[in-house]
Amino acid sequence: MRSYLDFEKPVAELEAKVEELRALGENRDAVSITEDVSRLEAKAADALKDLYSKLTPWQKTLVARHPQRPHFVDYCAGLITEFTPLSGDRKFAEDEAIVAGFGRFRGQPVCVMGQEKGHNTETRIRHNFGMARPEGYRKAVRLMEMADRFGLPVLSFVDTAGAYPGIEAEERGQAEAIARSTEMQLGLGVPNVSIIIGEGGSGGAIAIATANKVLMMEHAIYSVISPEGAASILWRDAARAQDAATNMKITAQDLLRLGIIDGIVTEPVGGAHRDPEAAVQAAGNAIEEALHDLGNMGPAEIRDHRAEKFLNIGRKL
């Protein structure tokens, strides 16, 4: 059953009418309503296209958090063959908020990792809603070291509200683990490509998004803090999250213009949750192109390219 966001109500009403007419059409005694169904379908499609062509930053935030939006496991299943997950940081424990391993991306051996939010109550609790603890980032570092040793590109899929802020995470060195993961990525001698598929929140995102190429899905968001968190700090009122989202420049379009990201992956009309398979394949095509652009570079060139990319952000801003 499709889930609609509040601003999608006009489309929801039209699509509900389409379903009602289809149900009537299944009755053999009913008058033919094919033309009415086609007319309403076209009207709903036009309304959806018009709505998604002018989303506000806050509306994009809601789309990025849509419960039916494809998550890392969906991208991994659709793009990675022979995927072999590896567990544990070899220091403390396994953290299922970050799923990582090795496999083949369109025939090419790669290291792949991503934050997984979960699809239902059970998996959301198991994956801690995609909020990694220090051991998750240390696991990422362990796998990146292996990838660097064997000359394998690193792909990362970002989808987190931020790193887990619990006391136990701080006790085990959350900030240090994020810094180590960021440092590891900056020093990789192999190409790495990161794509923000939903939320890219704070250090929890940058820890696996310090890449040669940073891509974003069209309706994803990427920021140093959530709109609610920013509103609480700036105005002491989380209800002003919409104002914060507008002023923070968190959309893919704003970030591309500012030079923070390198490309935007177009989503199906109505968001990735409307056609997850098409969204996954579009992401795969963008990743393949990014890897091709980096394919002829040696280890030193790869490091220099990555360093220059992030230094340029500071120079431009």
What is the C-alpha end-to-end distance of the chain, expressed in Å? 44
Cα 202–127–78 angle (5° rounding)? 90
* β-bridge pairing 221-223 and 192-201: parallel
For residue 74, what pLDDT is reported?
97
Altogether, the residues listed in the chain come to a count of 317
Residue range 168-172: average pLDDT?
95
Domain residues of the chain, as ranges? 6-54, 61-312
User: What six digits make up the tokens of 14?
Assistant: 């039209």
Phi-psi domain of 288 (left: phi exceeds 0; alpha: psi -120 through 50; beta: other): alpha
Min mean pLDDT across 18-32, 168-182, 184-198, 284-298 is at 18-32
Written as one string, the DSSP assignment of 3-21 is ---GGGHHHHHHHHHHHHH
- pTM (two decimals): 0.92
For residue 289, what pLDDT is reported?
97
Residue range 267-296: average pLDDT?
96
Q: Which CATH architecture has domain 61-312?
A: Alpha-Beta Complex (3.90)
